[in-house]
Structure 1
């Protein structure tokens, strides 16, 4: 829950800006704060929930204990392949650090997500960490206030933002009143804008301010290893080198998920045991595979569970391929393919209303959000709906579809951008009009505008912001 007086950092694009809540006088609200806790909860939910038995092994890992207790390197890098539970590990570490330190230390965290411009750029990472840090220790607010009073809101926007936030961050790290502080960043590989600048900043901060500790996660990318793996003050835990811990954690996760499935679907003891054995035999130490299969079984009647279960091959790519085949053979194949293509091509997660405006729905269901939610459930567990927005259940699902798009659609990515560009123009042409909020007063400050219900821009907001991006991405195709 947000405190009454809070700090809000926007990001580039539609959410650029900065806000400090009550007790700050002259700095007014510009845009909403990053919903870090909500993102964390959504990640837990979309990936099967947080099970302490599945992450507690890392709390006893020697590299982690050296980092946490014994004056080891100030930075710890947790690295591993997709689906190995990195995000769940960091969620568990955040919870454990918060619980064990109470009000004696700061725990600031950020989760990168490639398909969301609010969370996929280095500037957003620094903003989010600062927001989380100052929310914990409000006396640090003066460092932000001083810079903001000097330069105004332009300080936190466009090309100046990263440098400005870096300076503020450095000043805070040098503050003698700073409590013990832990910074946690998940999925650095999903920071697609200015990743190298962020890595350079982390390296510099780790070496210059060793009283603050950093823990970060990413895939085993050579580009990241070049900048982190050779640093003397960064230790690493490679999940593939801890197969016994990962296997045991996945088995605990399977036990928990099967128990929930058995209760929800009222499995007989025989069916429950067969599901449990199949998951144990085929999971290959991958949490995500287990979660995806269990989600499919949750949508399957108990008497068809065995038959359905036999259709799930081991390995993420094989499972994704099987899901695509099932979609292709279904009655909703055309509609599901449209939804997957639009979600893949979009520059940020679309709301249900926005998604509806980009696909061709059956006539009787053209604006039925409940119907579209059911169709999304039919998209082979590639997608999930969080806070009314459609997003990929995991980055590996998006990566797979990126590779398979030409075969699935019979068209290229530029062709899809061209289609979305043209559709965006149609959406804006049919929706936009002068004084769309009926303000009747030219020059009204945006800060005083109350969005009407229903919002006449609900279906067109994405098109208004991103039509030109789709045009640029499809320009040579259009030629």
Structure 2
């Protein structure tokens, strides 16, 4: 039990359910084409194989992963096991190679307790340090030994969003996958892991590492099937909007036409715009559609330009902190960063939420009080390296060096100017987190104490604190 508790970071099944809550249910009829695709069928009936599903941002890769998990759960043969994992760039519990391995090993142990024999001897020696980032090699050896144990049958694994892992960490993991699925003659008989990876082909080393394996390109090889799914998704979203907002048939058809002309095959664009249109009544919808141009980057830029000038300085700071934070920040932590004070008739939290809302569709508040970006593509847009020709848009571009310096200095100032007046953090403060009375009085204390040094390390060599 101690080993399992130390191993645990997140439950991938819960992560999947949260993704469904965020994205909404799958539109009827979508994703089903994958089950008859020849590459998928070859993967499913293989003894050990890696299949890479690739596509651009917002192309429906995560929903396809969720669909595959649901279908595999109901059709797996006897003596087989299903593993799942959903990476998330902005969550430090789901964005490293070690986090991935911990999630997969956690599922293996819950499925087959006899596999504890592969981990307990090492855990007895290393204790919690076995699960540190520096212990990747030890964890990989344990994972590989488990997946080759004859007590298990074929292991099916769906690994979503691998490109959202930290680059250096991801390189190491991909290298191990490449070696695992390229066994020697003697090793081949022990391999029983069937892995599906869904991610983009960026950074470039992903394509290089996976080049020898089967690849299904959603934007070319499965273009027709994906386009049909896009149209089904548009139909479902517009029909739901029309029913909720009581559109006339003429208005429904107009909205449907605009979606099909502007979506450019991007599920994310459809989901974002459909959600935004819920804010407008029937009279406003036709003009509101002009606020949503084709393409994700154009949509993100239009959103930034709609922020009122008097709000842009605070909005820029919020976006900078959300983009560069080591883990998702809470509403109260952002309030401490901004130095927010309660209004005459508003609490601090309400004031912060209003500031977050000024950033439009780029930000969302999830899991009650965590502030996050709408999608990984929004983070990449804000972090783009090339100066924007439009000064108003370049104002919001996040420069990593100065940004990490600002965060590190803010955290240190926060710690030095009273947050540590009662002494250093205790184990109780860390264990109880935001429920600790001390953390409630100093909302940024936990983040500042645990992560300022990580921001300092990310500074370029020419910058110092």
1:181 aligns with 2:160: no
2:419 matched residue in structure 1 = 431
Distance in 2 (alpha carbons) for counterparts of 1:346 and 1:448: 21
Cα offset, 1:344, TM superposition: 1.4
Q: Cα–Cα, structure 1 residues 73 and 225, in superposed 2: closer, same or farther, change >3 Å?
A: farther
- 3-state SS of paired residue (2:198): strand
Distance in 2 (alpha carbons) for counterparts of 1:129 and 1:410: 36
- 3-state SS of paired residue (1:166): helix
Native 8 Å contact 2:109 2:115 kept in 1: yes
Match of 1:417 among 404, 412, 415: 404
2:236 matched residue in structure 1 = 256
Cα offset, 1:90, TM superposition: 0.7
Cα offset, 1:374, TM superposition: 4.0
1:60 aligns with 2:36: yes
1:15 matched residue in structure 2 = none
1:324 matched residue in structure 2 = 304
Native 8 Å contact 2:86 2:94 kept in 1: yes
Distance in 2 (alpha carbons) for counterparts of 1:361 and 1:102: 56
Aligned length: 445
2:378 matched residue in structure 1 = 397
Match of 2:261 among 275, 281, 286: 281
2:452 matched residue in structure 1 = 467
Q: Deviations over 1:236-267 (max 9, x none)?
A: 10011122111110111111111222233232
1:191 aligns with 2:165: yes
Q: Cα–Cα, structure 1 residues 64 and 117, in superposed 2: closer, same or farther, change >3 Å?
A: same
Match of 1:335 among 289, 314, 318: 314
2:201 matched residue in structure 1 = 220
Native 8 Å contact 1:405 1:412 kept in 2: no
Write out the 4+ residue segments of structure 1 that deviate beyond 4 Å after TM superposition: 29-32, 443-451
2:187 matched residue in structure 1 = none
Greater mean deviation of Cα atoms: 102-111 or 443-452? 443-452
Q: Which runs of 5+ in 2 are unaligned?
A: 184-189, 388-393
2:70 matched residue in structure 1 = 95
TM (normalized to structure 1)?
0.84
Which residues of 2 match residues 143-158 of structure 1 at below 5 A?
Answer: 143-158=118-133
Native 8 Å contact 1:107 1:181 kept in 2: yes
Distance in 1 (alpha carbons) for counterparts of 2:119 and 2:78: 22
Greater mean deviation of Cα atoms: 246-255 or 140-149? 140-149
1:306 aligns with 2:286: yes
Distance in 1 (alpha carbons) for counterparts of 2:419 and 2:285: 46
Greater mean deviation of Cα atoms: 409-418 or 47-56? 409-418
Q: Cα–Cα, structure 1 residues 106 and 225, in superposed 2: closer, same or farther, change >3 Å?
A: same
Greater mean deviation of Cα atoms: 201-210 or 117-126? 201-210
Cα offset, 1:410, TM superposition: 7.8
Q: Which runs of 5+ in 1 are unaligned?
A: 1-6, 8-17, 21-28
1:83 aligns with 2:48: no
1:163 matched residue in structure 2 = 137
Native 8 Å contact 2:277 2:288 kept in 1: yes
Distance in 1 (alpha carbons) for counterparts of 2:278 and 2:7: 39
Native 8 Å contact 1:243 1:285 kept in 2: no
Q: Cα–Cα, structure 1 residues 330 and 299, in superposed 2: closer, same or farther, change >3 Å?
A: farther
Distance in 1 (alpha carbons) for counterparts of 2:434 and 2:446: 16
Measured on the aligned residues, the alpha-carbon RMSD in Å equals 2.9
Q: Deviations over 1:53-79 (max 9, x none)?
A: 22111112111111113x386111001
Q: Deviations over 1:297-329 (max 9, x none)?
A: 1222332111111221111111111111112x4
2:391 matched residue in structure 1 = none
Q: Deviations over 1:196-220 (max 9, x none)?
A: 2111211222234542200001112
